[in-house]
Amino acid sequence: MARAVTTQRKTLNTIIAWVIGLVIFFPILWIIILSFKSEGDAIRPPLEVLTSSWTFDSYAVVQERSDYFKHFVNSVTLSVGSTLLGLIIAVPAAWAMAFVPSKSTRNILMWMLSTKMLPAVGVLYPIYLLFIRLGLLDSRIGLVVVLMLINLPIIIWMLYTYFKEIPGEILEAARMDGATLREEILYVLTPMAIPGMASTVLLNIILAWNEAFWTLNLTAAKAAPLTAFIASYSSPEGLFYAKLSAASTMAIAPILIMGWFSQKQLVRGLTFGAVK
Amino acid sequence: MTKTIRALMGASAVVALTSGAFAETITIATVNNGDMIRMQGLTADFTAKTGHEVEWVTLEENVLRQRVTTDISTKGGQFDIMTIGMYETPIWGKNGWLVPLDDLPAEYDVDDILPAMRGGLSYDGTLYAAPFYGESSMIMYRTDLMEAAGLDMPDAPTWDFVRDAAIAMTDKDNEIYGICLRGKAGWGENMAFLTATANAFGARWFDENWTPQFDTPQWKEALTFYLDLMDQAGPPGASNNGFNENLSLFQQGKCGMWIDATVAASFVTNADESTVADKVGFALAPDTGLGKRGNWLWAWALGIPAGTQKEDAAKQFIEWATSKEYLALVAENEGWANVPPGSRTSLYENPEYAQVPFAKMTLDSINSADPLNPTVDPVPYVGVQFVAIPEFAGFATEVGQEFSAALAGQQTADEALAKAQALTADAMDAAGY
Amino acid sequence: MATQHSRSAARVMMAPAVILLLGWMLVPLVMTLYFSFKQYLPLRGGDLGWVGFDNYVRFVTSSAFWPSIQATLAIVGGVLVITVILGTFLAMLLDQPMWGQGIVRILVIAPFFVMPTVSALVWKNLFMDPVNGLFAHLWKSVGATPIEWLSQASLPSIILIVSWQWLPFATLILLTAIQSLDSEQLEAAEMDGARWPSRFIYIILPHLSRAITVVILIQTIFLLAVFAEIFVTTQGSFGTRTLTYLIFQRVLESQNVGLGSAGGVYAIILANIIALFLMRIVGKNLDA
């Protein structure tokens, strides 16, 4: 039964929601606008900014100064790589927790989350020394592992909540039919958990893409992603609003576009077990 | 000019012959300052001459420092060349972390490096990093506003004159602020300026027994003077203004005077970026008649971490980037005003460079700074605007935060000084003094 | 149902995750503990020997310690309050019928995709700069003196920046929860004459409690580690030095790894106190 809603009420909702939505989105819009302005115009009062002429100059300057494409490829490799690696390790663990629960399941889950509480800055030296020993500095593989470990608790938790919602009878039926554990996971469980998996993947790609401490401190020239790209624009000399905006737009655009196209999946799956 | 180029090509052919067989890729960490960005743009010239490729890691100053310090102290080996300053070089050199630059070829002419720069980048008489550009600090002022205020800037003004002029030039309704000074916390930001200024007021960081001196009347006078001046004639939000913020304000015509790095002179006189390019005058940093001027000495230099596998290629790069020929190359592409300043004597003897409006004042400022003898009273340390001990960056930044909070009006000068004294004493204690 | 066989299979399947996370926790933890009892100064030759609890004592007796705890709690608390309240409101609003719902939802969640460094840089320069920032222009256009955001209102400014980044996350989770609310139950209450506030308090809020718990738990973990936003904007000045930032200053600016490691141990303790506190207050909502 649909709720009867007056047009008046709907109009009011629409207006309020759009105003709030635009206010929240405005900073991003403003970055994009300024990125197409000249440095001199970018610092003028807002109305004058809007009426001034448009230009691609800042993008050209930014691209000339630092190779965007190289950083972009690294960002994609690191975020996708760490998420996939995380999934491979997390799926079996989440399966075990969801379908063979024991008294300690909840404690293990909480303990996993608690590993995220060690402040990264405090362990920079130990990890750096470790990376030297292992020859992993400035390597994509080293960062993929670190980013995977950082996000693994979140991945496990999310998958665990999705798996729990799947009725155990289905799995039992599959087992009766002679499915092995591997088949059970691959052909029964995974397809049913696809929506949840999708949002897990999306969330972790976002988190990995935006991680700025390890990706900056453990890389030099080869493995540096877009977080390092942006680190050279934080205080250039003289006027720099347009250049900063252009570099920012380039750094966030890929993930923003991905997020927009997949927002339905993200919204549907981002529950963390909050919905019974 | 063509003669220079031909000579260059000849020299490069020799270099190419001797080293071309081992073309390598070197990784260079550098800071995102204008001169370094320009150097990146000219990398092709280096590659053409030596066959070596360069990978750049360009970072903002604070990030760079954090990155290279971690790497060199753990012997991480991520970089073949690091861009470091006059503060790091002697400390790292002493630790044996840098490759000594004592075998530079004759044509490099190491004696041409300005003595002040060479001294500051050496430890125990050995050069550990070659200056890419050097700077002191000086006053940059608006000639038109000074005239409108009915004043005449002397070449070597006092702080009293500067204060009076700043107040006279201020017109807050039209967003003209008499003086723009650094207020953003950081040992290389507000503390560089304040330490140098305090020197002019007869203050010092430590006495000869390494006891912090923030409880002295000289520090109180210096800090109070600065806070009062900024209150009356400074721009809003000054406690967040560092070099870049002030540069931007000056270029927009919002500052009457600005006391900062001499390298800024080429940016404020560049008509492409600055709205006041043709109205800028220069003067020495002010004093108070005690014999010391508040001008600092700094160089951004290129050093090679000990243990790199590509030492030879790295040396070739340093010889290229800090050579006379590089200066000529930049002059040819961008004009003499945009040449990295303050590193070589020959640059200031060049008649073409002498026509650059700020050349003489830059050299005079550099020559009048004395890192070995920075203060009125004797001190146990080396450095004008810093104290060349490893702990300085840490506690000076914290002191800078206290002074910045005082500038923002969140505490009084006395409170800030008391906290500065306490935390410096604590840090020195932790370091085992 | 769980047989002995499936139990051991489960253990095998959990092993990689548990072992990896155990390593990721223990290796740094042990190394942090080790360094925290050392006088370790990289710029003075590295390891200068054991010093017992000196670093621990020095870290807490520093005048910066308690203010840093306060700043940490203020930022975590402030952001949580703002994101949960606004997030609940937004989630309820977005659940209502309207035109262009999909687009509004996209607009609202967009900040979550912006990397913290970029968001801090942009807020600091494009908006909060007291001379050229957008806010300064707005203030000037109505004849007011622009606010020096990052010095006069430093903590609120940082809370604002961080809240902007995390509001989408809270909204998303709360929205999913609200969408699962049985609308017939609400309608029945409406028929019975229950007014809006009582409907909110007795039906919606209890239904959301689990989602709010999740939001608080996850955000707290991330907020305790807030770093880029402070590094880019105030560098810890004006009372914004959090515990994380203080550790950064000790380790990297002062180059005192031993002292910083002791700070790291305190940070772990603080995080666990907060976690315990959260469990007590809200944990019962979370029985998995």
Question: Packing angle between helix B61-73 and helix A124-134, nearest 10 degrees?
Answer: 60
Residues of A in contact with C1 (CB under 8 A): 168, 172
Chain-centre distance for alpha carbon C102: 27
Among B17, A198, A221, C14, CA closest to A190: A198
Distance from CA of A210 to the nearest CA of C (A): 5
CB contact under 8 A, A65 and B40: yes
**Alpha-carbon torsion, ordered A219, A223, A227, A232, to 10 deg:** 70
Against chain C, the chains showing at least 3 CB pairs within 8 Å are: A, B
Among B202, B195, B255, B197, CA closest to B225: B197
What CA–CA distance (Å, rounded) separates C11 from C14? Answer: 5
Please name the residue of chain A whose CA is at the shortest distance from the CA of residue C123: A27
Q: What tokens appear for B339 in the block?
A: 């040449």
Q: What tokens appear for A223 in the block?
A: 């493995």
Residues of B in contact with C230 (CB under 8 A): none
Q: Is the dihedral of CA B236, C161, A69, A151 positive or negative?
A: positive
Q: Are strands B81-85 and B25-31 parallel, antiparallel or unpaired?
A: parallel
Distance from CA of A15 to the nearest CA of C (A): 9
* Mean local confidence (pLDDT), C62-66: 88
Residue-range domains of chain C with CATH = 54-286 (1.10.3720.10)
**A251 CB-contact burial (10 Å; exposed 0-12 / middle 13-18 / buried 19+):** buried
Residues making up chain C, counted from first to last: 288
Helix (H) or strand (E) holding C19: helix C4-36
What CA–CA distance (Å, rounded) separates B431 from B433? Answer: 6
Q: What tokens appear for B68 in the block?
A: 């290279």
What CA–CA distance (Å, rounded) separates A142 from A140? Answer: 5
Residues of B in contact with A224 (CB under 8 A): 57
How confident is the model over C117-144, as pLDDT tens digits? 999 999 998 999 888 889 999 998 888 8
Residues of C in contact with A256 (CB under 8 A): 110, 113-114
CB contact under 8 A, A275 and C176: yes
Residue A113: partners with Cβ closer than 8 Å, 6 or more residues away? A153, A154, A157, C217, C221
Residues of C in contact with A248 (CB under 8 A): 118, 121-122
Q: Which residues pair with B344 in a beta bridge?
A: B113
- Using DSSP's 3-state secondary structure scheme, residue B340 falls into coil
If one looks up domain A66-232 in CATH, what number appears? 1.10.3720.10
pLDDT of res. C288: 44
**Alpha-carbon torsion, ordered C190, C193, C197, C200, to 10 deg:** -30
Q: Are B95 and B128 in contact (CB under 8 A)?
A: no
Domain boundaries, chain A: 7-59, 66-232
Residues of C in contact with A90 (CB under 8 A): 17
What CA–CA distance (Å, rounded) separates B302 from A256? Answer: 39
DSSP B109-165: -GGGB-HHHHHHTEETTEE-EEEEEEEEEEEEEEHHHHHHTT----SS-BHHHHHHH
- For residue C14, give the nearest of A5, A97, A255 by CB distance: A97
What CA–CA distance (Å, rounded) separates A36 from B134? Answer: 35
Amino acid at B328: A
pTM metric for this prediction? 0.88
The pLDDT profile of chain B, 433 residues, written as one tens digit per residue, is 444 444 444 444 444 444 445 789 999 999 988 889 889 999 999 999 999 999 999 888 888 988 999 899 888 899 999 999 999 999 999 999 999 999 899 999 999 999 989 989 999 999 999 999 999 999 999 999 999 999 999 999 999 999 999 999 999 888 899 999 999 998 989 999 999 999 999 999 999 999 999 999 999 999 999 999 999 999 988 988 888 889 888 998 999 999 999 999 988 998 888 889 999 999 999 999 888 888 899 999 999 999 899 999 999 999 999 999 999 999 999 889 889 999 999 999 999 999 888 999 999 999 988 888 889 999 999 899 999 998 898 899 999 999 999 999 989 999 999 999 999 998 898 887 7
CB contact under 8 A, C41 and B186: no
Mean pLDDT by groups of 10 residues along chain A of 276 residues: 68 92 95 90 86 89 86 94 94 86 81 80 85 91 93 89 80 78 77 81 91 89 89 71 91 89 74 61
CB contact under 8 A, B186 and C235: yes
CB contact under 8 A, B29 and A220: yes
Residue B143: partners with Cβ closer than 8 Å, 6 or more residues away? B279, B280, B281
For chain A, list residues whose CB is within 8 angstroms of any CB belonging to chain B.
39, 43, 64-66, 124-125, 128-129, 131-132, 137-138, 216-217, 220-222, 224, 228, 231-240
If one looks up domain B2-127+298-354 in CATH, what number appears? 3.40.190.10
Integer-rounded Cα Rg, in Å, for chain A is 23
B137-296+380-430: what CATH class? Answer: alpha beta
What CA–CA distance (Å, rounded) separates B417 from B213? Answer: 9
Q: What is the ipTM of this complex?
A: 0.88
pLDDT of res. C286: 57
Distance from CA of A158 to the nearest CA of C (A): 11
Report the largest interatomic distance among the alpha carbons of chain C, rounded to a whole angstrom: 77
pLDDT of res. B194: 96
Q: Where are the alpha helices (DSSP H) in B42-123?
A: 43-50, 61-73, 88-94, 115-120
Amino acid at A108: I
A39 secondary structure, DSSP code:
H
CB contact under 8 A, C183 and A273: no
Q: Are B138 and B259 in contact (CB under 8 A)?
A: yes
What CA–CA distance (Å, rounded) separates A27 from C161? Answer: 11
pLDDT of res. B66: 87
Among B340, A108, B252, CA closest to C21: A108
